[in-house]
Each structure stands twice: as structure tokens, then as C-alpha cells.
Amino acid sequence: MRKKLKIGITCYPTVGGSGVVATELGKMLAEKGHEIHFISSSLPFRLKRMYPNIFYHQVDVNQYSVFQYAPYDIALASKMAEVIKREGLDLLHVHYAIPHAVCAILAKQMSGTDIKIVTTLHGTDITVLGYDPSLTDAIRFGIEKSDGVTAVSNALISQTYDLIKPDKSIKAVYNFIDERIYKKTDSAYLKEEYGIKPDEKVIIHVSNFRGVKRVPDVVMAFAKITEEVPSKLLLVGDGPEMTVICRLVNDLQLKEKVLFLGKQDNLEELYSISDLMLLLSEKESFGLVALEAMACGVPCIGTNTGGIPEVISDGETGYICNLGDITDISKKAIKLLNDEPLLERFASQSISLAKGRFSASQIVIQYEEFYYELLEKGDLR
């Protein structure tokens, strides 16, 4: 029987997809008996209760006048090295090439141990930072000096080789959802509370409302959809584009049909009253919200960008459309929403795909096997 591992995990502890996946991975690994040590600037927001074999180590950054900016990277590396030595960690699993992988490499040297470093690429570290020439070498260094590297989609792997050109093999390990949480629930009372009529279809969009999410496209597609299908649009989340979106909704005279719900925790309840999700991003390394929606029986229409086509199965769990093609997006949405048997079939197939290819139990095993392979063989070139 393989020994249980002591694993350090560093991620951004915020609401973004990478933080969610890293925290859920830690919880699932802990359930399988591994000892998990989160090392980050604040408690990951998904760690809301006590777990007997999950530990949290806070990175404190002191302000010194000699530094123009607080030296977070140095503080993180020092805390990593401290935890590696004190707890006898077997490996560090860090999420994002910079700064976390680079900090882990420094921590390994500081600790004087042969701890293994696993780096998971989530997207922003490649698709945004990778275009900055001043950061390319640092990203490549973080990838190449890691013992093993994974990415959340094959599309992201291709982008990494195109932009960064690392001499390193990268394994695709998809994001996942905990199907015990993301499942269809009886949330009919919400429709009543939100003033949604029984004959109205519900379309949902969840994002951080940044420009790359193309939320105006969602609103413009909905404007066409609601002309043909009685419907309401739920906009969940908040971000820099919110003012623009509010203005567009007013200009299109959709104020009575669009509900701005802000940031929400219990998304599964909102997915459970929804009939269709729109994810029309211009950059999306995976598309975790689409997977969450599918697990709750919500078909998705997404754009042909990044990892979205790896999550949405075109013609089975939804449709893939070209970026910005509002006419095609709205046509496909209207077709689906007006065909109840087709909608039900897509909903059922969405649940099956989410519970199959993207189930937490399967993905966690893939990570475990990757860890053990690293520990047994060493560096995976």
C-alpha cells in the first residue's frame, strides 16, 4: 500500500477558478488520508470548516521603508521553506507559474531538501502574463525547474508551448467539480422570489465581469433570444465592466428582464432554476462555471476559444459558436429553448459528462498518480 503524502499547496486564496480548484483538490486529497498544508496570504475562501488533516500556514508580509513594495515573494518562499522543513513535506503543489512556482524553487533551495515541486498552469499565468516579454523568462524558469507540470486543458498546453516554449512535458489534468455539491436541487422557490413566471426560461451567466468575458455579447444575444422566447437573464458576479453592462441593459430596454445578482456563494441553487448558460469569453483556459452548470443539468453555449470546446460537447451538452457571432449564438439558444425534448436531452447529457469525464474522484486519482510517479521517478522531462 502506498504511503499517505504530506502535500503543501499554494494558490491564490480568492474566488477565482484556480483558488477554487486548488482548495477543493486539497480537501479531496485530505479525504483520502493525505496531510495537506495550505501556504498562502489568507485562508482559502472554500475552507469554511475544520478538517483534521488540513493545516493552514499564513504568509505575513512586513512593510519596510527600504522596500518600495512589500516583498511578498520572498515572504512566501521563506514560509514555504519553513513548512517544508518543519512538517517534512513530500511535495509542493503550486498553482500558477509565477510567482508561486518560482517561490517554490527558491524554497526548495532554502530548505536544502529534495522536495518535489508540481506546478499547475491555470491560464492567466500564460494567456496574459505570457505576452509580457519581461516575464517570459521567469515563467519558463518556473515551468522548467518544476519537477512536474500540469495544465487545465490541452488548449492551454498548446498556448504555453507557443508563447513560452519551455523544454518540459506538460500533462493535461482537467478541472473538476464536487458532484456532491453541484447537483440539481429543488430551488423552485427562487423563481417566485425573483419574479420569474412559470412560462419563462432562465438564462444564466456567471463571471468576474472583466472585458475578456464579453458580457455585452451575453446581453446582446439575450436581447435577440427574449424577442422569440419569454425569458429572464441572471447575471451573477461583479467586476470592472458592471457599469457598461448596466448602461447596455438600459439602452436595450431590458431592465425588467435582466436580474443583477452580484456575487453569490450557493451557485448550485441558481443553476438549478436555469435552462441555459452563456459563456462567450474571448479567453478561457477551461471554463469552470460551464462545468458547474452542466453538473446541475444546465446546457451551455460557449465560444470556440481556449478550453471551452473541451468542456462543452458541441451538439450534445450545448453548442460551440464563433466568438462575437451574436446571430448564431441567439439562433442556437432559441432553437434549444423552444425544443423541450432536446433541452431535456442536453440537460441529461450535461450531468452525465460532468459526473464522468470531470468527476472529482477521477481527477483526484490523476493527480495522485502524478505525485507518486514524480516521487518514484524524479523529474518528469
Q: What value does the mean pLDDT take over residues 15-32?
A: 86
Confidence of residue 129 (pLDDT cuts 50, 70, 90): low
* pLDDT: which is higher, 117 or 134: 117
**CA pair distance 250, 245, nearest whole angstrom:** 9
Sign of CA dihedral 176, 54, 70, 78: negative
Look at residue 132 in the predicted model and tell me its pLDDT: 76
pLDDT in tens, 70-117: 678 899 999 999 999 999 999 999 998 889 999 999 999 999 999 999
- Overall size of the chain counted in residues: 381
Written in H, E and C, the secondary structure of 155-211 is HHHHHHHHHCCCCCCCEECCCCECCCCCCCCCCHHHHHHCCCCCCCEEEEEECCCCH
Look at residue 381 in the predicted model and tell me its pLDDT: 45
User: What is the average pLDDT score of the chain?
Assistant: 92
Identify the CA nearest to 7 among candidates 88, 83, 69, 92: 92
**CA pair distance 268, 76, nearest whole angstrom:** 34
Kindly state the greatest CA–CA separation across the chain: 67
The three-state secondary structure class of 43 is coil
| Domains present along the chain, CATH in parentheses | 6-176+359-377 (3.40.50.2000), 188-356 (3.40.50.2000)
Identify the CA nearest to 147 among candidates 108, 182, 202: 108
Look at residue 54 in the predicted model and tell me its pLDDT: 94
In this model, does residue 247 exceed pLDDT 80? yes
In this model, does residue 215 exceed pLDDT 70? yes
> What percent of the chain is helix, strand and coil (3-state, nearest 5)?
45, 15, 40
**102 exposure class (CB count in 10 Å sphere: 0-12, 13-18, 19+):** buried
pLDDT in tens, 310-360: 999 999 999 999 999 999 999 999 999 999 999 999 999 999 999 999 999
